[in-house]
Homo-oligomer: A and B are copies of this chain.
Amino acid sequence: MNRKTESLLSVEAALSRVLDGVSTLPAEEVPVGEAHGRVLTGPLAALRTQPPADVSSMDGYAARAADLTAPATLKLIGESAAGHEFAGQVKAREAARIFTGAILPPGADTVIAQEDAEAEGDTVSLPAAKLGQFVRRRGLDFVEGKTMLEAGRRLTARDVGLAAAMDHARVRVARRPRVAIIATGDELALPGTGGDPNRIVASNPISLAALLRNENAHVSDLGIVPDKIEAIVAAMRLARDNTDILITLGGASVGDHDLIAPALKAEGIALAFHRVALRPGRPLLLGLAGPLRVLGLPGNPVSSYVCACLFLVPLLRKLQGRTDFAPAPVPAVLGQDMKPNDHRQDYLRAKITRGGDGRLVASPHERQDSSMQALMVESDGLLIRKPNAPAAKAGEPCEVILFAD
């Protein structure tokens, strides 16, 4: 096949093939304290009302606004502290000591802060007050039965707090997607095995696992498989049971040593596409067998990471029922002049800083060699250059994808 005439799938078309027909994984119940970052499978409604009654937002005195149209000295009849119901009732010309969070005694409708009051024996002198002052009304925060968190929402730290406040000890979330990773290549070695110049370290399973765990994936790293079709087929057979996504690294191109496509064929996994018009990452394949999705990523660590950001992260999100699954490009401005682009969509590794006016400024590294991991660690995200984009000047608008960490 000729590099210049081959037919390549667009990034958008490839992503929609990856996501096509994906349905949400089954739900599981987890303790609310372990639900951070997980995705709700159903709407979450309040099991109680908060505050459960009218409560004081200050330490002070609870009284009747009708008695405080002008400063007044009222009779002190008792005390209401948080967690301790006050049995009595505040009648005309009466007041009760009250503390933050305590329920207003029946009859009282207003709170006066303690620093504005002067208590003496069983009376207290209070200034004029506005009806309802320093009172948090019953249900101010939420009311029993009302849905406060929607299905498909990834739970933030604040969300799990609200879920707990709504009295949920456990919540239903999509189970973790199961991902298996196979790295292929006779040249690969595990980290820590020394400096043989014929070997390089299989480092992309490490960075991909970190990226995918951040999306709640349960990652099984199946290690390194040599460039032999029987070995790759055997690894695929082992991995595909009990797996939602099988990732292969390397061997995704069409050379003599590229064995992923033949191995998929041998395993009866249909090849949905094989090449995508993007850089880095042209050799990128999708295999389908029932609900199993096989993503064949380039062996190159930069290419595989970029492809994982573009295709795998959205897939993991959609599997968990997230509605905001697609990568969201963010507007920025170019930090330098750009040459015209060719027919492939470029994702340039870039430093992304914030200008004084608050806009993001994207400055791609001069070298974009897709083997250079050192430049990945100095990048904050990817500058998107559309296929056949014309030349552009520093300061012109552009779009970036920010790395999550």
Contacts and interface: CB of A to CB of B under 8 A. Distances in A.
Given A48-B195, A255-B100, A140 B356 contact: no
Given A148-B374, A157-B405, A59 B191 contact: no
A120 B49 CA distance: 82
Contact of A161 (B158, B301, B360, B403): B301
Contact of A376 (B101, B158, B360): B158
Given A157-B405, A158-B403, A331 B305 contact: no
Given A32-B206, A210-B157, A397-B358, A85 B198 contact: yes
A190 interface: yes
Contacts of A164: 191, 201-203, 206-207
Interface in A174-217: 185-188, 190-204, 206-211, 213-214
A355 B113 CA distance: 42
Nearest to A146: B374
A354 interface: yes
B206 A149 contact: no
A163 to B, nearest CB: 8
B161 A200 contact: no
A190 B168 CA distance: 9
A18 interface: no
A358 B335 CA distance: 14
Given A198-B84, A257-B82, A333-B358, A373 B209 contact: no
Q: 6 closest pairs, A vs B, by CB?
A: A169-B192, A161-B207, A83-B186, A83-B187, A157-B210, A52-B197
Interface of A: 1-3, 32-33, 36-37, 47-53, 57, 59, 81-85, 99-103, 113-115, 136, 140-142, 144, 148-149, 154, 156-170, 185-188, 190-204, 206-211, 213-214, 221, 227, 253, 255-257, 299, 301, 305, 330-333, 354, 356-360, 369, 371-374, 376-377, 379, 397, 403, 405
15 contacts: A3-B115, A33-B209, A48-B194, A51-B200, A144-B195, A148-B374, A156-B377, A156-B403, A157-B305, A158-B403, A161-B305, A161-B376, A164-B201, A164-B206, A359-B359
